[in-house]
Amino acid sequence: MFYYSIKRLLMLIPVLLGMTLIVFAIIHAIPGNPALTILGTKATPEAIHSLNRSLGLDNPWYVQYFSYLKDILSGNLGTSIQTNSPISSEIWPHLAATIELSFVAMIIAVFVGINAGIISAWKQNSFLDYTAMILALIGVSMPVFWLGLLEQWGFSIKLQWLPSIGRDDIRNSVDPITNLYLIDTLLRGRLDQFWMVIRHLILPAIALATIPTAIIARMTRSSMLEVLKSDYIRTAKAKGQRMIWIVYKYALKNAFIPILTVIGLQTGLLLGGAILTETIFGWPGVGLYIYNAIQYRDYPVIQSGILVIAFIFVMVNFIVDLLYGLFDPRIKYR
């Protein structure tokens, strides 16, 4: 297992390298000169030339790529054109906001999705099954921005139950430590703020969780249906075991591998795909960060943002790979 993890980690290196190369290539394929962007259209050719030289932009592309790579490895993600501060220190609060939101959304998706799927499979062709599956179908097909707007209209404007924008109230903002507000408020012993953070999380998390919930529910259902038909479930019944126990202990562990795969992929997508949700709910996450950068043509930020998201995506799936072995002893790591 240890040997396998090391091997898998080593195999990640070419993947990550390829990723940096693609990001690098895309940015360089975009027409326009960064020096021109920085200095403005009235800059003299000499000034542009000297800035190009100081930025290293007159070097051949592979020299540029390697110096870019060297920067990344030393933790230097470059400088934002917009704010002129280092991206590596700027990006974390955004990333933390996205991680917090995605994490809560994923908990909702896993809990609701798996249970809905199990009940659907257990009571196949019942009213419950049909209801759950129709809801799942709606969940997959509903555009996130539409659902987000509906939520805001219903729960914030009409009912006024929950806030519709941001991570905290402007007049009662959280004093960050880790930038993960759920942890920060607890560290500072501010239970009132903890509750406020949760209230802010609910609507965007639900919006973000819809699609993964639906996908997990459908995967759980089909996976469970197959397992419930198998001989060892019959054996468990023949022992005199209770059905609820058989379903949640025996069947679920067997059905879990495909569900785990979906959870992994969806987690990755959530982290990267939160742009829509973050824009609608004014959530200061990576998605919103990149969205703003695009509007300002802040190339270094876009580049770094994409890189960080891709990195997280790869790592999540690496972890999922390792988790398979926990659920199925037949999977051998060599």
Structure tokens belonging to residue 65 = 């790529």
Show the beta-strand stretches assigned E in 99-242: none
For 104-131, b where at least 16 C-beta lie within 10 A, e where not — what string?
bbbebbbebbbebbbbbbbeeeeeebee
Compare residues 5 and 241 and give the one whose CB is closer to other proteins. 241
Are 145 and 276 within 8 A, CB to CB?
yes
In whole angstroms, give the CA distance from residue 191 to residue 174.
11
In whole angstroms, give the CA distance from residue 220 to residue 233.
17
Of residues 7, 53, 70, 123, which one binds other proteins by CB under 8 A? 7
Q: Is 232 among the residues that bind other proteins (CB under 8 A)?
A: yes
Q: Is 327 among the residues that bind other proteins (CB under 8 A)?
A: yes
Compare residues 46 and 231 and give the one whose CB is closer to other proteins. 231
Q: Please work out the total of residues on this chain that contact other proteins, with binding judged by CB under 8 A.
A: 22
Of residues 237, 258, 282, 319, which one binds other proteins by CB under 8 A? 237
Q: Is 171 among the residues that bind other proteins (CB under 8 A)?
A: no
3-class DSSP assignment, residue 303: helix
In whole angstroms, give the CA distance from residue 1 to residue 7.
10
The CB-of-18 to other proteins minimum distance in angstroms stands at 20
- DSSP 3-state percent helix, strand, coil across the chain (nearest 5): 75, 0, 20
Q: Is 236 among the residues that bind other proteins (CB under 8 A)?
A: yes
The CB-of-17 to other proteins minimum distance in angstroms stands at 20
Of residues 235, 258, 282, 322, which one binds other proteins by CB under 8 A? 235
Of residues 234, 282, 319, 322, which one binds other proteins by CB under 8 A? 234
Chain residues that interact with other proteins, rule: CB under 8 A: 7, 230-232, 234-243, 250, 253-254, 327-330, 334
